[in-house]
A and B are shown apart, each in its own frame.
Chain A
Amino acid sequence: MDCINAKYVSQKISKTRWRPVSASSLQQPELLATGSWDNEDNKVSIWSVGENGGSNMEDEFEEIPVTVASVFFFGFFFNLFQFLDQDRLVTASSSGAVTIYNLKSESQTLSVLHTWEGAHHYQCARAPCTAVVCSSPELVSVGEDGRVVLYKADQSRIVRTIENADSSTIHAVTFLRTAEVLTVNSIGQLKLWDLRQGNEPAQILTLTGDRVPLHCVDKHPNQQHIVATGGQDGMLCIWDVRQGSVPFSLMEAHSAEMWEVHFHPSNPDHLFTCSEDGSLLHWETSSGSDTPSFLQGRNSSMMSRSATAPAGGNQSLISAWLSGDSSKGRLETTHMLPSQTLSVNSLDVLGQCLVCGTDGEAVYIHRRVLV
């Protein structure tokens, strides 16, 4: 807990992401990007985070000035972005436009590579874009207009639009396989799309019971059929997309909307969630151990209901997340932030470094996450 550094940045953070490091190097990430919201002029900023040598690991936190013109981001709306690769950043704003920027770290500038204006729109108004996901060179964006739009980073025209993909707002999207995308919407459905064919979803999964809007989704890094979603009531659901249309397990994670859920990219037994209630939870699971009881982390409230047990199969191939009855496995949750803050809107984890941004206009960095 003492390794968390907080910095007040005078802007409410809508999104925060580590800049990807090359797979071969084992370095900690050095640059991070944040997007602001609710300002009159919103911006995306790049920050450099270095470490002083010596015994006290104080982080230096300097802002690299960014030349993102504030005219791009309308008024007091919402911005989000993703890193396409080490040098390119994709942003999507509530004006419905999606833009690719080139990050040049030597000259410390961001320059526009290409913009797709009005990718999301209503009949006579702009529609906010709610999520964008990249799998270089392909990009997919979704918005409040219920469209799924497909782009290629080097092509100036939109590759494909799935019109009327959804009658409600699509809140988040993730790639499952190369041409498969999974979206979640505000009536609590997961839809699987095969981008090569058809305008209809290949599969629709939904929770029985109340149609609680789902806000975030993330897929397991190694096993693409395992997906985690977070909803408006703060429930964390783990789904197996191959089997059945109901989730595998439901856990009460937070007391308010869950904004982001992330599997750790290199160590997928760890999951991170952040929420409107101001907490960031670190979930750790391990496949079936000797102790039948599951340990509760400090201050965690957890209730787990499993839907079905896996239908036979080799135990070692089944991820710990799908162990059905969690009293057989071990699931631990820890609060990562020292005290209650305003809503934590976004988090990202890479290696041992965790960053999150809050509505209290602060960015928290933890560099010694135990994974």
Chain B
Amino acid sequence: MEEVDVEPTTTLIPGVGLKQKHLGFEWGPGDILVYETNFRPAGERSGCPSVHVVRKDEDIYSPILRKLFNESHHIFVGLQNITEDVPSKNKKPQFVSISKNYRSVIRACMEELQHVAGVTCCAHLVLFVLRLHSQVSILLATELIWNLCEVLFIDAAPAGCLLLHLLDWVRLHKADVDEKAKEVLQSDSPTNHLAYWDVVISFILQGRVDEARHVLTKQASVQAASRTLYQLMDTLLHKMPVFNPSGTQTLTEFDMKWRHWHEECDRCLQDKSFASNPHLETICKILLGDEDAMLEHKELLGTWYHFLVSRLLFSHPTVKPAELHYYAKSSMDMFLDSRSVPEPLDSILLAAFEFDLHQVIKDCSIALNNWWFVAHLTDLLDHCKLLQSHNLHFGSNLREFLVLEYASGLVSHHSLWQLAVDYFDHCPEFGRVYLELQLERVPLETERKALKVLRICEQRHMTEQVRSICKIMAKRALSNNRLGSALSWSIRAKDAGFATLISERFLQDYCTRGSFSDLDLIDNLGPAMLLSDRLTFLGKYREFHRLYGENKFTEAGKLLLSLMTAKIAPRSFWMTLLTDALPLLEQKEVHIYTHTHTHTLSCVFVCVFQGEDVETAKLELLRLALARNLAMAIVKEGTVEA
């Protein structure tokens, strides 16, 4: 057996396992059933009245997070459908935009969770609010990771652009700077505000040089004496080269320009130009990429990856993707104290900087409690052809495995099972099998739901499932005495056996009651009549009754005869048919049966007579009627018309 990656977590189930009872359990699609057993060599044997359902993922039951699942399903299906039309080299912008869609869905969910957490203020809902906050922080982390993966893997920017994207990434996730800046600038005396220099330095650390300059002008206008100093700093900042990806400048040119600027800053520092103003000196050091100067403002950076990006901005803006991991590791080591243990998020981000996709996916799978994130991210990366086909011991490739796991988790939800269908559809190897098994287990409470499940099965040519669902519904209808519904389900499944069963029911009803029930159904069977012999018999027999009622005796008689000769009448019914023939045989005015017909009838009669015992009175009547009919027939047919 393989080794486990992390120690398994223990979950306490309240109310179970008391009195040292042994526990039994059973796996379900997304849950575990846990119960107490009586397995104990000695001691009292008492029953346990309850079975506990233990769910791993409570997120799918959250009404706000449900929107995440629905919207991402829409994006997922769209993604599967685009890949066929467009040639691969043009697909990158599409993939990037899909990735942005996913992220915007995550962010929308996050905002809504925050909003609800903000407005909920009841005291007894404290736990609920806490849970909301933890969901928000998880979503924040997932969006952070996704964004980084988009920058590094999907967009895969080369050196130069890479840093710009990383800067955007950091700016997006450190938004408190703008609030602070607004507060400072709107105060009466911005330059005296406590947070003034924090704002300036934060802007510089994020590479927002123009905004830093804007805030600095406030200081320049106030302190007339140091005006030249501020002007110098302003010039330095203004001259800082920024790589323009759409411009004509090549990376080497930019690099050269940047080095010139870097040397100029260095000269200013060596000349002690800013020595009189410690803040400006710090800024100059930061501009030179001095790590200690940056680390002094740890609380402004907040995270080691912010430190990483700032460091790169001011020491190595032309960083290549392959060099990132070295800087990442060292940044993390420098930023975090040696005492603190890196959190799961940190190791995931580090793995991303090392371009170790599999490690990222693996760590995320362990850290998060449902498969949503890894399934969708892996699927997108797979479409970008970034995952080598990594064959697993137990199934198909990684992407399919994760999508199947995610979909299996969805299927256990009473409502989201419909989304899972599309996910299974796009798993070429095992999806169909999973779907077949799962669809049979979807509870069918109403006809409408059964119709939907049936439609899903029919579209995928799952005939076994169609038959089994229709049979369930037909049986249910039959037990509720809804014969018409039962028949309509049998027709849909083309289930001849069940149709026969239903016809038997009708015929039994007729025998007991003497009349047909549900005439609207039998009279209007249409082509469905041909589904089963018994059903055809029923339809035709009813037609016979109708013809008889309309006094169309000749046709009725012929029909009756054909019913007997066509061998679709059940044996038990022959006596009834003969009895029905009796009045026709006795007809004086209209001569219905020719002598051939009468012969046939007689044969039938003989069979019946030889069979089970029948009332002798009836038999006598029949015998008499047949004989008389035969006589009349012979006479009539033998007579030459005058």
Contacts and interface: CB of A to CB of B under 8 A. Distances in A.
Contact of B521 (A38, A167, A208, A209): A167
Given A361-B66, A361-B70, A211 B488 contact: yes
Interface in B467-514: 480-485, 487-488, 491
A144 B445 contact: no
A257 B456 CA distance: 11
Contacts of B77: 340
B449 A361 contact: no
Contact of B447 (A169, A208, A276, A341): A169
Contacts of A339: 78
B47 interface: no
A186 B447 CA distance: 10
B577 to A, nearest CB: 25
A62 to B, nearest CB: 12
Interface residues of A, number: 54
B85 to A, nearest CB: 14
Given A10-B63, A76-B414, A340-B77, A168 B527 contact: no
Nearest to A146: B482
A277 to B, nearest CB: 9
Nearest to B108: A8
A77 B488 contact: no
Contacts of A276: 451-452, 455
B482 A169 contact: yes
Given A8-B67, A38-B414, A360-B73, A186 B485 contact: yes
| Max chain B Cβ within 10 angstroms of own Cβ: one of A75, A146, A168 | A168
A244 to B, nearest CB: 16
B240 to A, nearest CB: 38
| Max chain B Cβ within 10 angstroms of own Cβ: one of A167, A341, A343 | A167
A361 B67 contact: yes
B469 to A, nearest CB: 15
B390 interface: no
Interface in A120-156: 122-123, 125, 127-128, 130, 144-146
A54 B123 CA distance: 40
B553 to A, nearest CB: 26
Nearest to A259: B448
Given A77-B445, A78-B448, A211-B526, A187 B67 contact: no
Interface residues of B, number: 42
A9 to B, nearest CB: 8
Interface string A271-313: 0000010000000000000000000000000000000000000
A168 B446 contact: no
Interface string B406-438: 000000001100110000000000000000000
B326 to A, nearest CB: 43
Contacts of B443: 76
B102 to A, nearest CB: 15
B356 interface: no
Query: Chain A's interface: helix, strand, loop or mixed, by majority?
Result: loop
Contacts of A209: 526-527
Contact of A210 (B73, B481, B518, B528): B528
B178 interface: no
A206 interface: yes
A40 B419 CA distance: 17
| Max chain B Cβ within 10 angstroms of own Cβ: one of A128, A144, A187, A209 | A187
Contacts of A206: 524, 526
Nearest to A75: B445
Nearest to A40: B414
Given A38-B414, A167-B521, A94 B71 contact: no
A76 B444 CA distance: 10
Given A77-B446, A122-B480, A362-B70, A187 B488 contact: yes
Interface in A190-243: 191, 201, 204, 206, 208-211, 213, 232
B452 A343 contact: yes
A38 B66 CA distance: 14
Nearest to A125: B480
B527 A189 contact: no
B518 A342 contact: no
A211 B445 CA distance: 24
A146 B452 contact: no
B412 to A, nearest CB: 13
Contacts of A340: 77
A210 B491 CA distance: 10
B528 A167 contact: no
Interface in A163-198: 164, 166-169, 185-187, 189, 191
A40 B67 CA distance: 17
Given A12-B415, A185-B484, A256-B455, A167 B449 contact: no
A39 interface: yes
B346 to A, nearest CB: 33
A260 interface: no
A207 B513 CA distance: 31
Given A10-B64, A128-B447, A166 B414 contact: no
Interface in B378-416: 414-415
B491 A211 contact: yes
A276 B528 CA distance: 25
A348 interface: no
Contacts of A128: 446-447
A75 B455 CA distance: 23
Interface in A55-90: 75-78
B615 interface: no
Nearest to B69: A361
Nearest to A122: B480
A359 B482 contact: no
B7 interface: no
Interface in B56-96: 63-64, 66-67, 70-71, 73-74, 77-78
Rank and list the top 3 A-B pairs by shortest CB-CB distance, nearest first. Answer: A168-B484, A167-B484, A167-B518
9 contacts: A94-B446, A123-B480, A128-B446, A167-B485, A186-B447, A201-B520, A211-B524, A213-B488, A339-B78
Interface of A: 8-12, 37-40, 75-78, 94, 122-123, 125, 127-128, 130, 144-146, 164, 166-169, 185-187, 189, 191, 201, 204, 206, 208-211, 213, 232, 256-257, 276, 339-343, 359-362
Given A8-B66, A94-B445, 6 more contacts: A10-B64, A76-B445, A144-B446, A169-B484, A186-B484, A201-B520
